[in-house]
Amino acid sequence: MANRPKRTFRPRRADSSDSDSAQETSAEPGATGEQAARDPAVEGPPSGRGHAEVAELLRRGRGRRRGRAWASSRHAARAAPRLDESSDVPESRMVDLSADEEDGAHHSSESKDDQSSSPNSSRTLEDEFSSVVNIPDAAVMQATYRKCKLARAQEDYISLDVKHTFTNSGMKKNSEDSESEPDDFKDIMPFTPKPQTLRQRMAEETTTRNEETSDDSQDEKTQDIWEQQQMRKAVKITKGQDIDLSYSHESQTVKKFDASISFPPVSLEIIKKKLNTRLTLLQDTHRSHLREYEKYIQDIKSSKSTIQNLENSSNQTLSFKFYKSMKIYVENLIDCLNEKIISIQEIESAMHALLLKQAMIFMKRRQDELKHESAYLQQLSCKPETSINKSLAMDEKTQWILEEAESRRARRRQARILSGNCTHEEGTSSDDELSSADMIDFQKSQGDILQDHKKIFEDVHSDFCNIQNILLRFRQWREKFPDSYYEAFISLCIPKLLNPLIRFQLIDWNPLKFDSIGLKQMPWFTSIEEFIDCSMEDSKKEDSSDKKILSTVINKTVIPRLIGFVEFIWDPLSTTQTTSLVTQCRMILEEHSTCENEVNKGKQDLLKSIVSRMKKAIEDDVFIPLYPKSAVENRTSPHSKFQERQFWSGLKLFGNILLWNELLPEDTLQELGLGKLLNRYLIIALLNAIPGPDVVKKCSQIAAYLPEKWFQNSAMRTSIPQLENFIQFLLQSARKLSRNEIRDEVKEIILILVKIKALNQAESFIEECHLDHLRSVIKEFE
């Protein structure tokens, strides 16, 4: 018999103590219940009743263990003491009474005292056995074995093992062996419904493999059988599957019906009663569903009737349809604008970047020219101690820059001569010409941006991109349902809805160009004005909230765009740009101030950016060099020309700053124009100049730029404090000219003093220089 496998799922080798029983089990073929295939070995019977007891043992062995050749060595060892205790018969000997000649296996077992028994006693015991038991010879036993084997072959059974066939009788013999085996494996886990059957199969399989194959092959086969048995138990393989296992008929227990279980009586009435109960429940459920269905039908009819009644009611239908259509329209409008606002921002940024690039080109070029020309003239004024190589390298770079600047000035002079403008002074030009290549590149980039600009709303219906059509919808709301219109605060919503569309129209608007369209001529501006005018006519309220729509639009949409131009693109030295910007700002800040709080806030932001930009221009762009009088006496010298250009450039900036009169506060304007520019740069340059007609011309131009509003007070006898330095320079120049008897220039200076309300200083000068003929000039202005 084979032992159970280890936890590693590999079977153990059979112990030496069990080898005898395993060999006996596997060496002999089985026999049926009708034929005894094995003869038992018994010990010699005791005197007196030995024959009777031996005969009885043989009869019991054949009756209880039919088909078993011999008992195991353990059974014989246990039987010997019992016989010794019951009699004093000499030691007996165990004899093998049967053998399986076909298999060639002979089993014999001898008692422990076999060496001490004599031949005579053995012969006597065999004779006694022969008189009691009729022991068949080998030929009879062989014939009986073949007969049993043929009978087994004719039995109706199905072998489940396709590789190794095992007979039913062999299984029965193994099952009988298991009854007499010792309890060596009581602690084996019951892996199958009948652990005994599993041990029998494993023992028979192990014994057969020991005879046919080596020990390693036996271990693998036993392990396979064990694993397959566990897998069968785990997955519950059905009975008809083809697996490599053999099952005994005894292990396949059939579950039979237990007749002892009693069931409640079943009759036709009981079945009918249950069916009726079930039918009643289903009918109740069906009736409840019918009631719910009828209720829903009534609700639908009632809803349809209500809808019909509402549609038939003229006032309610009109308001409902209008509000519904207005809701849908506004939702679609918002969706459209949310989708297009990204494209608008991209195009807007691209245009702003293009204009900024152009402005930076002009500014850098002007600063480079100023730097190189100033350095070049400074070298001319210095002693010839500068390194020659360094001077040559600097001269080459400076020469190219100065030639480019001079060529542009020559083209401008030629253009002025052709136009008949002969009063232009060098240095007052904006110098904003581009080369032909740069101009072509700029125009191409601008054209591409404008082309993309036109494509933004090309797939949108006019009702959602035309400001006039959009305002027409809200105008209808205001006319039909004015109460709900004003309660909804539509005047606060319209500027937000129109913001993307107005920005779309302002993409190609440049407030710095002299020919730029004004805001009043723009379509969105006129549409909003018409909407506000109709509101004033329809509404009886004088403080209609619609009046603030235009000012809100300007504050939220136009002013932020203007601030961007002022901070990054505007050149304060350009009179054209400054004049155009002042015009646009004047219209925005003065004519549309109905909403004081909001417009004032936007106005302050705009004016702050303007003041900041002009301060930066004064600090970065104004440079008037001072040279010795010997270097500037010659009007054709490079020093004199450069100084004149820079002075007129600073004077041009002075005039551009004073263009913001009435827009910027007076104190701010006077601080910028008079304090930072006139007194710090222009007066110092005039003091370094030679008195003469040119100086008087420059002073007259300064006085012409001064706003007349500052001197409108008739009671003024003294000018504003910031002009005190200028007045003293005028008096100084007049005295010098008077001594040289240049009367016309002296009279011009007296007129300048009178214009700026320096009347006391003018009278003192006339009395001092005895210029009584000029008193009439003072009386004319008084």
Q: How far is CA 643 from CA 528, 688, 699, 701, 773, in A?
A: 52, 11, 16, 17, 36
User: Which 8-state DSSP code applies to residue 526?
Assistant: H
Q: State the pLDDT confidence band at 329, using cuts at 50, 70 and 90.
A: very high
364-368, 721-725, 774-778: range with lowest mean pLDDT: 774-778
Q: What is the pLDDT of residue 380?
A: 79
Helix (H) or strand (E) holding 311: helix 268-312
pLDDT surpassing 50 at residue 103:
no
Q: What is the pLDDT of residue 782?
A: 57
pLDDT surpassing 50 at residue 464:
yes
Spatial separation of the C-alpha atoms in residues 690 and 635, rounded to whole Å = 11
Mean pLDDT, rounded, for 411-421:
78
Spatial separation of the C-alpha atoms in residues 15 and 2, rounded to whole Å = 8
pLDDT surpassing 50 at residue 19:
no
Contact between 578 and 656 (Cβ < 8 Å) = yes
Choice between 92 and 170, residue whose per-residue pLDDT is larger = 170
Q: What is the pLDDT of residue 403?
A: 82
Q: Sign of the C-alpha dihedral, residues 393, 395, 398, 399? A: negative
Contact between 667 and 720 (Cβ < 8 Å) = no
Q: What is the pLDDT of residue 480?
A: 87
Spatial separation of the C-alpha atoms in residues 467 and 425, rounded to whole Å = 48
Mean pLDDT, rounded, for 601-615:
91
Residues shown for the chain: 782
Residue 91's Cβ-count burial label (10 Å; 0-12, 13-18, 19+) is middle
Spatial separation of the C-alpha atoms in residues 366 and 573, rounded to whole Å = 11
Q: Which of 707, 768, 771 is nearest to 732 (CA)?
A: 768
Contact between 696 and 736 (Cβ < 8 Å) = no
Spatial separation of the C-alpha atoms in residues 773 and 779, rounded to whole Å = 11
Spatial separation of the C-alpha atoms in residues 184 and 196, rounded to whole Å = 12
Q: What is the pLDDT of residue 640?
A: 87
pLDDT over 70 for what percent of the chain? Answer: 67
Spatial separation of the C-alpha atoms in residues 510 and 356, rounded to whole Å = 12
Which DSSP string corresponds to 426-470?
Answer: TT-S------HHHHHHHHHHHHHHHHHHHTTTTTS-HHHH-HHHH
Q: State the pLDDT confidence band at 220, using cuts at 50, 70 and 90.
A: confident
Give per-residue burial for 468-492: e unless 16+ CB within 10 Å, then b.
Answer: eebbeebbebbeebeeebbeeebbe
Q: What is the pLDDT of residue 776?
A: 74
Q: What is the pLDDT of residue 180?
A: 43
Helix axes 16-27, 168-180, angle to 10 degrees: 150
pLDDT digits (tens, 9 = 90+) for 282-307: 999 999 999 999 999 999 999 999 88
Spatial separation of the C-alpha atoms in residues 659 and 575, rounded to whole Å = 9
pLDDT surpassing 50 at residue 10:
no
Q: What is the pLDDT of residue 593?
A: 58
Q: Which of 298, 303, 320 is nearest to 311 (CA)?
A: 320
Q: What is the pLDDT of residue 67?
A: 41
pLDDT surpassing 50 at residue 83:
no
pLDDT digits (tens, 9 = 90+) for 676-712: 999 999 999 999 888 888 899 999 999 999 998 888 8
pLDDT digits (tens, 9 = 90+) for 228-257: 888 877 776 444 444 444 444 444 454 555
Q: What is the pLDDT of residue 12?
A: 43
Q: What is the pLDDT of residue 320?
A: 82
Look up tokens 């080109």; give the residue: 361
pLDDT digits (tens, 9 = 90+) for 386-411: 434 444 445 677 778 888 888 888 88
Q: What is the pLDDT of residue 35?
A: 39
